[in-house]
Structure 1
């Protein structure tokens, strides 16, 4: 069994949860490529992928004739790429470094996967978080501590391991490593069972909004490692600030690392359906912003410009039309 197949089998052994986020009749859609039901692989319920994926499912269901869509809870980026490859999902969200690895057959992937880009959706921000009294004020302070690096098979885990290594920490030896999603990380911080945790997601992330409301949350700056990660792994790592007041009690901007989030499909998806899905998303931006503010970043003029993965032909046709 290959590493990819083994991971996929492990994922599929867990019962999937679905958002009730689709209209089965496809609404009064304008598309012409719908051919039934689509599954969108997202992430955990505490992050942005899951609610935004539900919003995308809604706009597809309402605007692509003959097509209904549902959003599936998953462990996020790495597993999402595998689900697309195995045909267990039709669309999937993934962060730039993982999507690049899937397209190139590097990192977590033994060979290039059959994926193409519907488009760039918004940016993920790597958000290392702790609480008052843990003594963790920097990545270097995590040495010897109990740290969550994100759910297994997630982009959070990939990025967290790379940040720790850049900070001179061996994730296998120098920390007590836990693998928790956003909501579980928040619960563990509250319980005092971890000292800090990583989360990669849009702004604001619901689970962190909840934690910040207690007045104990502290974000940890890691922007200093952006150039090193970009040089070693690729230009999808950039230094960005989490703006002041993104979270309650956050009075100053916090320098972290950001990466683009890409919606991908299998290259075998019907070209007309690719175009219809792309059109439905970008021509219903306002509806998606109502689901999550991260959708404010949707921009058809730049969404097709993803240098590390080919655009799906149908999506490119849409971008050429609106450009």
Structure 2
């Protein structure tokens, strides 16, 4: 009788359906002082709220270049990265020569970055050429900021040998400017960004405009660059428009991501976009039209399915 009873218990146990485990997705972003981290955090909340069986978490990383490696190795499920970095990774050019990331695919272009060169008032720096002989942060090692800064500088005849190079993340750059440890710093990030906002509350800052020729030279070096006018009063004390360059930021995944999951993420991103805009104003630029005009690599098939469903005009370059 005891054996029979045990058999009944075991049979009943085996008959109970297993509870499906919640799958946690990793979103590679950047430093906490930029826009990637709050955008990634907002997207993580949206995934957990609207996609059954999934949760997500935003991870702090070294940003664009590092993020492409994380996607390639599938150490992260999603990643935000600058369009030029994404294009170079996909094509095996530039910083990715000899290490092509051919399995990266796009979900959407989320918002444009602005290259922002910041100095303190009274520093004597009023132009790009004034960086010569100064101490300058070009961004965190392996970041899209450094790639953008280097392309801008070298296309205008300025090399790393012309100034003292510091490779600091956004918060470190702001702190070093505040403390007088550097003379200027680059940000390539969606404005306004928290680290510059914070710096502007304690120091009188200035943003350096680039000439039309300097912008044209940069676009000649990196076709994903575009002229960008940063509005006056974006930061405290900066009362004039800053003329600079802009670069799209792309939400990417590995081609191996299941089509249904990529479809659901794309659908949530665009149909619940007000939730992301409530977290950061950069998401005001997250539109289907921006994705169609700005994305530099093919879309994941799951994302493509969503855009086809809503009858978006999809350029051939976004199809494999």
TM-score, normalisation: structure 1? 0.86
More displaced 10-residue stretch of structure 1: 270-279 or 107-116? 107-116
Give the match for residue 46 of structure 2.
Answer: 59
CA contact (8 A) 2:114 2:244 kept: yes
The equivalent of 2:4 in structure 1 is none
Aligned to 1:232: 221
Q: Which digits, 9 at most, give the CA deviation of each residue in 1:110-169, with x for residues without a partner?
A: 233110000100000000000022211111000000000000010000011112213321
Residue 131 (structure 2) aligned to one of 142, 148, 159? 142
Superposition deviation, residue 308 in structure 1: 2.5
* Residue 155 of structure 1, aligned match among 144, 150, 153: 144
Superposed CA offset, 1:33-57 (max 9, x none): x971110000000000011100010
Alignment deviations for residues 75-122 of structure 1 (CA, whole Å, 9 cap, x no partner)? 100000011001110100001110110110111112331100001000
Matched, 1:44 2:31: yes
TM-score, L = length of structure 2: 0.87
1:87 aligns with 2:55: no
Q: Distance in 2 between matches of 1:119 and 1:79?
A: 19
Distance 2:135 2:194 in 1: 23
Partner of residue 5, structure 1: none
After TM superposition, the structure 1 stretch with the greater mean CA deviation from structure 2, 213-222 or 92-101, is 213-222
Structure 2 partner of 1:319: 307
Structure 2 residue corresponding to 1:253, chosen from 236, 241, 257: 241
Maintained 8 Å contact 1:130/1:196: yes
Local SS of the residue matching 1:244: coil
- Deviating above 3 A after TM superposition, structure 1's stretches of 4 or more consecutive aligned residues are 304-307
Q: Is the 8 A contact 1:304 1:316 kept in 2?
A: no
Q: Distance in 2 between matches of 1:306 and 1:316?
A: 15
Alpha carbons of structure 1 residues 238 and 301: separation in structure 2 relative to 1, 3 Å? closer
Deviation at 1:213, TM superposition (A): 1.6
Q: Check the 8 A contact 2:136/2:166 in 1, yes or no.
A: yes
Question: How many residue pairs were aligned?
Answer: 288
Question: Is the CA contact 2:210–2:243 (under 8 Å) kept in the aligned structure 1?
Answer: yes
Q: Give the helix-richer structure, 1 or 2.
A: 2
Contact 2:114–2:188 (CA under 8 A) maintained in structure 1: yes
Q: Does 1:287 align with 2:290?
A: no
Q: Say which of 62, 68, 77 aligns to 2:55.
A: 68
Q: Name the SS of the counterpart of 1:199 in structure 2.
A: strand
2:262 is the alignment partner of 1:274: yes
Range with greater deviation from structure 2 (34-43 or 101-110): 34-43
Correspondence for 1:27 = none
- The gaps in structure 2 that reach 5 residues or longer are 1-20, 312-320
TM-superposed CA distance for 1:203, in Å, is 1.2
- State whether residues 156 and 217 of structure 2, in contact with CA within 8 Å, keep that contact through their aligned partners in structure 1: no
Partner of 1:3: none
